[in-house]
Amino acid sequence: MTKVFLRKKIAHRIANGHPWIFGNEVEKIDGEVNAGDIVEVYYADKKFCGCGYINPKSQILVRLLTRKKETINEDFFYNRILSAWKYRQQIGYTENCRLIFGEADEMPALIIDKFNDYFVIQTLAYGMEVWKPAIVNALQKIFNPKGIYERNDVPVRELEGLPQQKGFLSTPFDTNIIINENGLQFHVDIENGQKTGYFLDQQDNRRAIQHIVKGADVLGAFTYTGTFEIHAAHYGAKSVLGIDISENAVSKANQNAQLNGLENIVHFEALNAFDVLKVWAKEGKQYDVVMLDPPAFTKSRATIQKAITGYKEINLRGMKLIKNGGFLVTSSCTNLVQPEMFLHTIELAAKDAGKNLKQVVFNAQAADHPIVWGMENTNYLKFLIVQVCDK
Ligand code: SAH
């Protein structure tokens, strides 16, 4: 097997458990280098570091799968998936969960979402793509699922020399499915929805709005298929308006309102949140609760400042629409915007809006997307509820 030797000066990251090894951290390679091959990695002092897959086309030359000297084969993937499932069950997930959250489950570049009997997979690196059949076999053995689908229509695959693609990995099935969450039902479009079709990362946070929305007039922006807004109606809001720029999302959101018999309370419209929030604030519209859950504003360090300006702007506009003593429910899924940075941005927005804030809840993503301590990029979602009062 090919052996990769690390330089003396490598980032502490690797020794501390992070699985990525960049090309410039490698001193020499003994043996052939073929994209996707399993290699053994050694520290500069020849001590064993771990086994992983290599891809000379990628900036991340090796991603480690294990720190043990063990054989990487079908059984390895079966065992990893089984133990990830056991962990999800241990922490209380039964029907829907992110079954594999990449690096956090020692399965770099692999995402698997479980929507009751259906599974959606993303293999985002060459070395993981190679094991796709083994992963599908493991899912078949463990779950005997009704369907498995790949949503590999993701640009990041091209950095690995992989094509973008989507399709069935099991016998074909109806990709419009219904899932249960917190006693509600939601249509999920596995084939054409955003990402894997549904944002499981907010599934626990959606419950956090339960008390603040009672009897409230609620505005939700970046609603996607209406999940937060339908929860608000279910938890006793007086009226709810959800907006999203995508006509498809809005049409699914309205279907979801009907599916739950809440169409008299919650409505959805296709609008650009950045534009209308500004106009509505000028017009003096007021809500008891405003909820914001925008998409990631950047994936690159070069544009973090722009992302922060975006967060400040949208939250400032949101706050201006809130009645004195009402609540702002605000999220950020931009990995590079750290929790403290996000809170600071909200603080600056409040200052500009002339508001005082009182923190009700500050959470990360749902626990089925584990945050591994020492692996910063596993802690990506910020979810904040604050009471907003006039100064
Ligand atoms: N809250 C949702 C997830 C939102 S994802 C949930 O829990 O399921 C972000 C959404 O923002 C996407 O649906 C995207 O279509 C929408 N979006 C992006 N830019 C927008 C804009 N300028 N105005 C309104 N919606 C926008």
Q: What is the pLDDT of residues 11-28, one digit of tens each?
A: 788 989 999 999 999 999
Atom of ligand 1 nearest to the CA of 293: 1
* Type of residue numbered 329: V
In a domain, 150, yes or no: yes
Mean model confidence pLDDT for the chain: 97
CATH code of residue 121: 3.30.750.80
CA of 295 to the centre of ligand 1 (A): 6
Q: Residue 315's closest CA among 244, 223, 221?
A: 221
> What digits encode the pLDDT tens for the residues 241-259?
999 999 999 999 999 999 9
Judge if 12 and 123 occupy the same domain.
no
Verify that 321 and 351 share a domain, yes or no: yes
Determine the distance separating the centroid of ligand 1 and the alpha carbon of 293, expressed in angstroms: 7
pLDDT reported for residue 87: 98
- What is the distance in A from the centroid of ligand 1 to the CA of 223? 5
Distance CA 200, CA 81 (A): 18
User: Residue 192: inside a domain, yes or no?
Assistant: no
The answer on 360 and 212 residing in a single domain is yes
Residue range(s) defining the domain that contains residue 145: 74-177
Ligand 1 atom at shortest distance from the alpha carbon of 220: 1
Mean pLDDT score, 208-235: 98
Are 85 and 60 found together in one domain? no
- Between CA 289 and CA 218 the distance in angstroms is 5
199 lines ligand 1 (CB under 6 A): yes
Distance from Cα 318 to the centre of ligand 1, integer Å: 15
- The verdict on residue 193 lying in a domain is no
| 263 and 224 both lie in a single domain | yes
Say what the pLDDT of residue 12 is. Answer: 85
332-364 pLDDT per residue, tens: 999 999 999 999 999 999 999 999 999 999 999
112 has pLDDT over 90: yes
Residue 211 belongs to some domain of the structure: yes
Q: Which amino acid is at 261?
A: G
Residue 249 CB–ligand 1 contact under 6 Å: yes
Give the CATH number, domain containing residue 20. Answer: 2.30.130.10
Query: Within a domain: residue 50?
Result: yes
Take residue 260 and report the two structure tokens written for it. 């739950």
Total of domains in the chain: 3
Cβ of 26 closer than 6 Å to ligand 1, yes or no, is no
Number of Cβ within 10 Å of residue 184's Cβ equals: 17
What's the 19 CA to ligand 1 centre distance in angstroms?
A: 31
Whether 228 lines ligand 1, by a CB cut-off of 6 Å, is yes
Token pair recorded at residue 281: 């604030």
Report whether pLDDT(164) > 90: yes
pLDDT at res. 190: 98
Q: Give percent of the chain with pLDDT exceeding 90.
A: 96
Contact between 132 and 121 (Cβ < 8 Å) = yes
Expressed in angstroms and rounded, the spacing between residue 356 Cα and the centre of ligand 1 is: 27
Mean pLDDT calculated for residue range 318-340? 97
Residue 297 beta carbon below 6 angstroms from any ligand 1 atom: no
On the question of pLDDT at 376 being above 90, the answer is no
Closest to 375 in 3D by CA, of 98, 12, 58: 12
Q: Same domain, yes or no, for 105 and 247? A: no
| Domain shared by 244 and 284, yes or no | yes
pLDDT exceeds cutoff 90 at 265: yes
- 70 alpha carbon – ligand 1 mean position (Å): 43
pLDDT score recorded for residue 13: 86
Report which protein residue has its CA nearest ligand 1's atom 1: 223
CA distances from 245 to 92, 104, 222, 275, 341 (A): 34, 32, 7, 10, 27
Is the same domain home to 221 and 354? yes
**For residue 387, pLDDT beyond 90:** yes
β-strands 176-181, 165-168: how paired? unpaired
Average pLDDT over residues 296-302: 91
Which of the 8 DSSP states describes residue 183? T
* Closest approach atom of ligand 1 to CA 202: 7
pLDDT (0 to 100) of residue 383: 98
Q: Determine which of 1-15, 77-91, 163-177 has the lowest per-residue pLDDT on average.
A: 1-15
Nearest-atom number in ligand 1 for the CA of 246 is 15
Q: Whose CA is nearest to atom 3 of ligand 1?
A: 224
Statement: residue 10 has pLDDT above 90: no
Q: Annotate 325-358 with three-state secondary structure.
A: EEEEEEEECCCCCCHHHHHHHHHHHHHHHCEEEE
- Of the CA atoms within 13 Å of residue 63, those in its CB half-sphere come to 23
Dig out the tokens for 169 from the structure: 């990995």
pLDDT above 70 coverage of the chain, percent: 100
Q: Burial level of 101, CB count in 10 A (0-12/13-18/19+)? A: buried
d(CA 4, CA 39): 7
Do 325 and 241 share a domain, yes or no?
Answer: yes
Note if the pTM is more than 0.85: yes
Do residues 89 and 159 share a domain? yes
What would the pLDDT profile of 25-81 be if each residue is shown by its tens digit? 999 999 999 999 999 999 999 999 999 999 999 999 999 999 999 999 999 999 999
Is residue 366 included in any domain, yes or no? yes
- Which residues, including other chains, have CB under 8 Å from residue 43's CB and lie 6 or more apart? 5, 6, 10, 15, 49
pLDDT of the residue at 152: 98
In eight-state DSSP terms, residue 55 is -
Residue 273 beta carbon below 6 angstroms from any ligand 1 atom? yes
Shortest-distance atom of ligand 1 to CA 206? 7
Q: Could you tell me if 80 and 48 lie in one domain?
A: no
Burial class (CB in 10 A: 0-12, 13-18, 19+), 232: buried
Residue 378's CATH number: 3.40.50.150
Would you state the pLDDT for residue 133?
A: 98
Give domain status of residue 334, yes or no.
yes
The pLDDT, as a whole number, for residue 371 is 97
Residues 221 and 280 in one domain: yes
